Amino acid sequence: MDPFSDILSLLSARSYATAGLSAGHHWHMAFPGFNGLKFIYIRKGAFWFRPEAEPEWTRMEAGTGVILTRSARFMMATDVTCPPEESPEKKRPRVRETVNYGGEDNLLLAGKMEIDSAASDLLLQDLPLVLRFDTYAKENSSLSTLMTLLFNEKVSEKPGASQACDHLMHLIMIEVLRNGMENSRSGDGVLTSYTDIRINKVLRALHHEPEKKWCLSEMATIAGISRAGFSRKFKDTTGLTPLLYLTNWRMRLAGKSLRHTRESVKLIAFKLGYHSESTFSTAFKRVYGVAPRLYRDQHLGSPDLTGTE
């Protein structure tokens, strides 16, 4: 897999379509935060949108949408002068039909992506709270196609429509996140590194064989850069040295194994290329602040997916 897909796999990312919502011209509602990624797309008409903590409203017209990348209460309205009502969303987290709030002139579609909270910073650290997109923009033609397919499946009564909607929502989420990655090129961090072809080649190799005893010269050869130039480029792009990135990636994999399996610490260490359990434990503690066994005691059996309701 490519490095970005590896991240989504590590986070156990899972998306699903939720309720559609229609409203008249005098409607205003406050929605609870969601501990994952929340997707909103305007299919017809127009809505006003703002995170509750921000004062400015944004007008969203048909073809536009947002993804909230972190838990934050937000407001949606067709008339911002109306007093807001509290959304009953917590009581019906996965209603599939369109909920009508007094009219059909304005219609939105919604979805969510659940991710493993223990490693969510890998995906979210470089992204803003709100990712905005416009399916009518020329560069978003594939997103426009996916949204049309989603709407057609949602209103159909074909066998498997619900499952198809969930798969389409996952593709839509990935497409918007890709755009978010493109827009984060000016900064440093893991997401930025996925857009650099030479560094991406190295990440792909490291992710494919994390247990291998990698050396800088070998990584530089894969990138097609001199060893000194590669070290600078990698650090400038990811914010980490190559060997520190490798260690952190190994520890992320170890953390997931400790949270979700009963494999022994020794076996996990061996699978990640450590022949000494104590060396592995030292590296793990440097990243997570606690020893592997204590980390497992703290996390095993507890819900890890953000957004699980």
Tens digits of residue pLDDT in 184-241: 554 555 666 667 889 999 999 999 999 999 999 999 999 999 999 999 999 988 889 9
The structure tokens listed for 108 are 């939105």
CATH class of 3-183: mainly beta
Q: Which pTM value belongs to this model? A: 0.85
pLDDT tier for residue 287 given thresholds of 50, 70 and 90? very high
Q: Nearest CA to 17 among 161, 138, 130? A: 161
Pairing state between β 14-23 and 98-101? parallel
Contact 52, 74 (CB under 8 A): yes
In angstroms, rounded to a whole number, what is the distance separating the alpha carbons of residues 270 and 219? 22
127 falls in which pLDDT band (50, 70, 90)?
confident
User: pLDDT-derived band of residue 301, with 50, 70 and 90 as boundaries?
Assistant: low
Q: ∠ at Cα 183 (182, 186), nearest 5°?
A: 100
DSSP 74-132: EEEES-TTSPPEEP-GGG-TT--SEEEES-SSEEEEEEEEEEEGGGTHHHHTTS-SEEE
Helix (H) or strand (E) holding 15: strand 14-23
* CATH topology agreement for domains 3-183 and 196-299: no
pLDDT of residue 305: 47
User: Amino acid identity, residue 220?
Assistant: A
- Rg of the Cα trace of the chain? 22
Q: Are 281 and 291 in contact (CB under 8 A)?
A: yes
For residue 103, the model assigns a pLDDT of 87
> Domain 196-299 is in which class?
mainly alpha
Question: What is the 8-class DSSP label of residue 226?
Answer: -
pLDDT at 89: 67
Q: Tell me the domain boundaries of the chain.
A: 3-183, 196-299
What are the C-alpha distances in Å from 53 to residues 66, 74, 86?
16, 8, 16
Which pLDDT score is estimated for 271?
A: 97
Residue ranges of alpha helices (H) inside 48-92 are none
- pLDDT tens digit sequence for 55-81: 999 999 999 999 999 999 999 999 999
Q: Report the pLDDT averaged over residues 102-109.
A: 91
Q: How far apart are CA 1 and CA 228, in angstroms?
A: 28
d(Cα 114, Cα 39) in Å, to the nearest integer? 11
> Mean of the per-residue pLDDT values for the chain?
89
